[in-house]
Structure 1
Amino acid sequence: MPTDPFSENTAALRALGGQRVWSLMISLFGDLAQGAGDRIDGPVLSAIMARQHIKPEAVRVALHRLRKDGWVTSEKSGRIRQHSLTDKGRRESAIASPRIYARPGSEIENWQLILLPPSDADTSADMIARGFAAITTRTYIGPQSAQPPADALALPGDDVPGWLRNEAAPDDLREDYMQLLRTLTDLKAKLDQMSELSQIEVAVLRCLVVHNWRRLVLRHAPLPPSLLPEDWPGHACHRMVASLLDRFPRPDISRIAQQAAAA
């Protein structure tokens, strides 16, 4: 495996979160080839995954799973196999992208408190899908734009007490954001000392940043900042992610292919 400065400097980011190869590939396709007609040649995919220290057999297993789950399709073009997102894969990626790539400071400020009627049914999955976070089994908070169930009591939010902010910010999620923030801050300092990255390295860097951000930001509702503690590390993490993605724009797949062919 490569032991060059780029690999050494991204090691901590690769180690976060017990990363599953198939999930990493969803992040890669979502960032690099989400558009209709976008394809990643087999040699390009292999080069990108190799730079993440992922073995070829693990890539093959992950591709098999993604094809089986209807996320990715593969077809031959001459001697080269090309991979692309299916309609389902593009649709699911498009749903997640507004959360993943939202600009810092674009969050909606207004919020509401929701009280559900007594019920034996577990409504948590539905409420989370609607954009709410649970306070109790029947009480939820969320942005004013989120649509509550028809039989719920919805109260517009005003001043937010500290205890409510803390309820909306689980300790385990706080620690995960802190860990990612520390890792990205250290990585940024190291990148400042490096020469220009290759297109393959940019693709790898973006994949790792997007993946680690995605696995956290999609775990909770898009709550307004007023519903979270002022020192919530997710805010600083969001700014760091946006800064890195702005600094290293999405590379063109054809340029990555040229570099992979020349390697």
Structure 2
Amino acid sequence: MPRNKRIEDLTGALVDGTTLRAKSLIVTVYGDAILPHGGSVWLGSLINLVEPFGLGERMVRTAVFRLTKDTWLEATQIGRRSYYAATDSARLRFGAAHRRIYAAPFQPWNQEWVLVHTNCCGLEAEARESLRRELTWQGFGTLAPHVLAHPAADDDALELALRDHAALDKVVVLRASADRLTSPGGLKALVRACWDLDQLQADYETFLDRFRPLLRALEDGSPDPQSAFVLRTLLIHDYRRILLRDPMLPDEVLPPQWPGTAARLLCRNLYRLVQEAAERHLMTTLETAEGPLPAALPYYRDRFGGLGDEVAAVAE
């Protein structure tokens, strides 16, 4: 395949312009690329896979060790080789993130809010703060001291977080809806008090500015498999870091022309353009204990509403 200099230059600029922590990037790689192929790979092949991001062998080994300590990964030793697989608990966390990132989120809002009261049943302060941080990553906002709120919470992810923090019997989860006396303006003011929409909007606009030039370049040519993998990984890495802070508020309470909508469309379109070449790179680079990487599981093709669909236009 002939080189595409513009795509190579954009890829290099994206790598240079991204502050990459090895541990966080490897979580992205497992969730986006490795889990659909069974979830377990030889460490040596993982080191080769992430080398284009500027991560050296020592950095990868340290990150994998920490992920194992944090129960994201588990090791299997076969001869002199170490293989690392996602743990059962990590698969549940990846599943929750997968629904946020790849599934169609735009469901009609039932006007219901999920409220989590964390300071009424004896939850220790340190555990309460740890739970608050995790629920914030799920999109919960602070409605009042020790009361978190979400208009469209993922029930499975919420239950998993409560179990992980031994808090199932130490918090109160309620469901509520706005009274008819609540005005639309009052509800929007409440949302702005609970979530930093200005920062979220700025982050989405930065994402659009970083990746829109790539869409234009891909319309004129195709990346080589390694570049496609790097682009796909950076795309999801950047997008998930914003999206997992996004409460996915319904349109009724969002500002007009919300950039999260355009960001999701851009991410979907770019992913569809690079995913096939990226998959070829994965298949030739990663190894498992049984040999070559197995084909992706069927659910992989369902991402973003179907990876075989035509690319939609993205607003300039």
8 Å Cα contact 2:23/2:63 also seen in 1: yes
Code of the aligned partner of 2:142: A
| Aligned counterpart in structure 2 of residue 235 of structure 1, from 238, 253, 261 | 261
Residues 152, 259 of structure 1: alpha-carbon distance in 2 compared, 3 angstrom cutoff: closer
Runs (5+) with no aligned partner, structure 2: 159-170, 288-316
What number of residue pairs does the alignment pair up?
Answer: 255
Match of 1:179 in 2: 206
| TM, length-normalised to structure 2 | 0.65
CA distance in 1, matches of 2:31, 2:114: 33
8 Å Cα contact 1:135/1:141 also seen in 2: yes
8 Å Cα contact 2:73/2:85 also seen in 1: yes
CA distance in 1, matches of 2:90, 2:116: 34
8 Å Cα contact 2:8/2:227 also seen in 1: no
Q: Does 1:133 align with 2:160?
A: no
Runs (5+) with no aligned partner, structure 1: none
Code of the aligned partner of 1:188: L
Residues 77, 192 of structure 1: alpha-carbon distance in 2 compared, 3 angstrom cutoff: farther
**Which has the higher mean CA deviation after the structures are superposed, 231-240 or 202-211?**
202-211
Match of 1:154 in 2: 176
8 Å Cα contact 1:9/1:187 also seen in 2: yes
CA distance in 1, matches of 2:13, 2:104: 25
Residues 7, 40 of structure 1: alpha-carbon distance in 2 compared, 3 angstrom cutoff: farther
Code of the aligned partner of 2:216: A
Match of 2:222 in 1: 195
| TM, length-normalised to structure 1 | 0.76
CA distance in 2, matches of 1:127, 1:225: 21
Match of 1:205 in 2: 231
8 Å Cα contact 1:203/1:251 also seen in 2: yes
Code of the aligned partner of 1:193: D
Deviations 1:77-112 (A, max 9, x none): 4565433212222121112111111236x2443334
Match of 1:91 in 2: 92
Q: How does 1:27-66 map to 2 (within 5 A)?
A: 27-35=28-36, 37-66=38-67
RMSD value, Cα: 3.8
8 Å Cα contact 2:139/2:244 also seen in 1: no
SS at match of 1:84: strand
SS at match of 2:83: strand
Q: Quote how far apart the aligned CAs of 1:218 are.
A: 1.0
Code of the aligned partner of 1:109: W
Query: Percentage identity across aligned positions?
Result: 24
Code of the aligned partner of 2:110: N
Match of 1:143 in 2: 151
